[in-house]
């Protein structure tokens, strides 16, 4: 089957329309957003009276300014800072991590945590890897930690668990949501169980979806079908890759290196048990402990969001990027004001990439 077959798409759309519902659905994945905008799926959704919102689905966007400041400080103190490509351009007070190079700091872009380890093996200097990502990337970081990395290698763990953020979002109740589309990659690791807890608590239908246009249309159809039948359960549309129990091996590696801790998310504040703290056994590689003294100066400091930036509301699905007055005018991928315009999984970047400077249709 072709996952872009327009005849099947039309059929699914007409089935959703037949149910005659008016729905607001949120998904929490940057790649889902890319598929939706690139293929104009939200226009199709609007035709079936389905309003689609993106929630906290980009790991770079939800990382708050303070964690970037920690990385910045460590680079300034002489560590080699290794980061993923998008991370280096996120604006923080006084510039970005990339701008630090102008001050003589050694900030390098790596494609994987293994690359960061290679850097550590090639030098006597301390190397810090700024580990950003959800359950998808955390097992790789964990695997490095449990396999005796070089002594001069440190992880600044900015990893986060997705389910506690969904819990926080639903408990805030800012938006009345009729259903959630759960992220495909994260779900390959965690399986269905963590979502079932949320559905039991909030009685909200959830569907795990793949990344093709038909996957997302089917996910909406499945949510609509649940609501029509008066059901609320977790369904798996992405059976090609997601198993009920998830990836046990990856989970066990992740759980052997990390334990939950309370951590702040951009746009949310502190979410209980949503952060991944490096376990005691591997604390020799925990940048926050190894450089505790250096980081002390910012421990209790608050860092502000960029002036005028509305990323916090974009991340909570409260506004669309085009509703930010800076979108496409002051804030562009070349001169980003907030992380949502930098990250390839950020809502603002995706809207800009496909040239959508204004909302193309009325979603009210």
Q: 207: part of which helix (H) or strand (E)? A: strand 206-208
Residue 200, SS3?
Answer: helix
Structural contact between residues 37 and 242, judged by C-beta atoms closer than 8 angstroms: no
Residue 186 binds to ligand SF4 (criterion: CB under 6 A): yes
Residue 189 binds to ligand SF4 (criterion: CB under 6 A): no
Q: 12: part of which helix (H) or strand (E)? A: helix 6-18
Residue 314 binds to ligand SF4 (criterion: CB under 6 A): yes
Looking at 223, 290, 326, 350, which residue binds ligand SF4 (CB under 6 A)? 326
Q: How far is the CB of 311 from ligand SF4 (least distance, A)?
A: 4
Q: How much is the CA Rg of the chain, to the nearest whole Å? A: 21
Q: How far is the CB of 235 from ligand SF4 (least distance, A)?
A: 17
Residue 165 binds to ligand SF4 (criterion: CB under 6 A): no
The mark string for 29-68 relative to ligand SF4 (x by CB under 6 A, - otherwise) is xxx-------------------------xx----------
Residue 338 binds to ligand SF4 (criterion: CB under 6 A): yes
Looking at 177, 345, 350, 356, which residue binds ligand SF4 (CB under 6 A)? 345
Total site size for ligand SF4, rule CB under 6 A: 26
Residue 337, SS3?
Answer: coil
Q: Which is nearer to ligand SF4, 301 or 329 (CB)?
A: 329
Sign of CA dihedral 196, 201, 207, 211: negative
Q: How far is the CB of 273 from ligand SF4 (least distance, A)?
A: 19
Q: Which is nearer to ligand SF4, 188 or 199 (CB)?
A: 188
Per-residue tokens: 74: 């460590």
Beta bridge partners of 169: none
Cα 126–chain centre separation: 28
Looking at 237, 337, 343, 350, which residue binds ligand SF4 (CB under 6 A)? 337
Looking at 45, 221, 320, 327, which residue binds ligand SF4 (CB under 6 A)? 327
Q: Could you say which residues in the range 5-34 bind ligand SF4, by CB under 6 A? A: 29-31
Looking at 341, 343, 350, 356, which residue binds ligand SF4 (CB under 6 A)? 341
Cα distances from 68 to residues 52, 324, 329, in angstroms, run 30, 23, 25
Q: How far is the CB of 30 from ligand SF4 (least distance, A)?
A: 4
Question: Which range binds ligand SF4 by CB under 6 A, 5-13, 231-239, 269-277, 326-334?
Answer: 326-334
Owner of token pair 């699905």: 317
* Closest of 303, 336, 307 to residue 63, by C-alpha: 303
Q: Could you say which residues in the range 129-148 bind ligand SF4, by CB under 6 A? A: 134, 136
Residue 184 binds to ligand SF4 (criterion: CB under 6 A): yes
Residue 356 binds to ligand SF4 (criterion: CB under 6 A): no
Angstrom distance (rounded) from CA 343 to CA 88: 10
Chain position whose Cβ is nearest to ligand SF4: 338
Name the DSSP class of 297. G
| Maximum alpha-carbon separation in the chain | 66
For the sheet with 127-133, list strands across it.
107-109, 80-83, 127-133, 153-159
Residue 210 binds to ligand SF4 (criterion: CB under 6 A): no
Structural contact between residues 250 and 186, judged by C-beta atoms closer than 8 angstroms: no
Q: How far is the CB of 78 from ligand SF4 (least distance, A)?
A: 31
Residue 183 binds to ligand SF4 (criterion: CB under 6 A): yes
Angstrom distance (rounded) from CA 271 to CA 219: 27
Looking at 159, 310, 316, 356, which residue binds ligand SF4 (CB under 6 A)? 310
Report, in this order, helix, strand and coil percent for the chain, each rounded to 5.
45, 20, 40
Structural contact between residues 271 and 164, judged by C-beta atoms closer than 8 angstroms: yes
Q: Which is nearer to ligand SF4, 221 or 352 (CB)?
A: 352
Beta bridge partners of 51: 24
Residue 92 binds to ligand SF4 (criterion: CB under 6 A): no
Q: Enumerate binding residues for ligand SF4 (CB under 6 A).
A: 29-31, 57-58, 134, 136, 183-186, 309-311, 314, 321, 324, 326-327, 331, 337-338, 340-341, 345, 348
């Amino acid at each position: 089957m072709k996952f872009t077959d327009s005849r099947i798409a039309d059929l699914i759309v007409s089935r959703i329309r037949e149910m005659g519902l008016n729905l607001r659905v949120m998904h929490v994945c940057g790649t889902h957003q890319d598929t939706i905008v690139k293929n104009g799926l939200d226009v199709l959704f609007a035709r079936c009276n389905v309003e689609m919102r993106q929630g906290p689905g980009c790991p770079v966007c939800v990382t708050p300014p303070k964690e970037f400041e920690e990385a910045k400080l460590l680079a300034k103190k002489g560590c080699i800072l290794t980061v993923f490509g998008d991370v280096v351009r996120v604006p923080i007070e006084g510039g970005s991590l990339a701008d630090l190079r102008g001050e003589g700091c050694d900030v390098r872009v790596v494609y994987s945590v293994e690359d960061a380890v290679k850097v550590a093996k090639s030098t006597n200097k301390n190397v810090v890897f700024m580990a950003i990502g959800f359950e998808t990337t955390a097992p790789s970081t964990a695997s490095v930690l449990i396999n005796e990395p070089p002594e001069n290698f440190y992880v600044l763990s900015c990893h986060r668990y997705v389910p506690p953020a969904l819990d926080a979002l639903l408990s805030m109740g800012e938006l009345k949501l009729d259903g959630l589309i759960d992220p495909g990659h994260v779900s390959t690791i965690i399986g269905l169980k963590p979502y079932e807890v949320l559905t039991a608590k909030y009685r909200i239908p959830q569907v795990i979806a793949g990344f093709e246009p038909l996957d997302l249309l089917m996910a909406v159809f499945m949510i609509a079908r649940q609501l029509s039948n008066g059901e609320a359960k977790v369904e798996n549309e992405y059976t090609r890759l997601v198993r009920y129990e998830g990836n046990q091996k990856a989970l066990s590696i992740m759980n052997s290196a990390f334990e939950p801790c309370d951590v702040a998310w951009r746009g949310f504040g502190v979410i209980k048990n949503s952060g991944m703290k490096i376990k005691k056994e591997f604390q020799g590689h925990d940048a926050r402990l190894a450089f505790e003294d250096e980081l002390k100066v910012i421990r209790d400091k608050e860092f502000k969001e960029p002036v005028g930036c509305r990323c916090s509301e974009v991340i909570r699905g409260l506004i669309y990027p085009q509703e930010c007055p800076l979108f496409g005018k002051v804030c562009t991928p070349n001169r980003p004001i907030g992380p949502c315009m930098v990250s390839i999984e950020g809502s603002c970047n995706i809207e800009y990439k496909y040239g959508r400077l204004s909302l193309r249709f009325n979603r009210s």
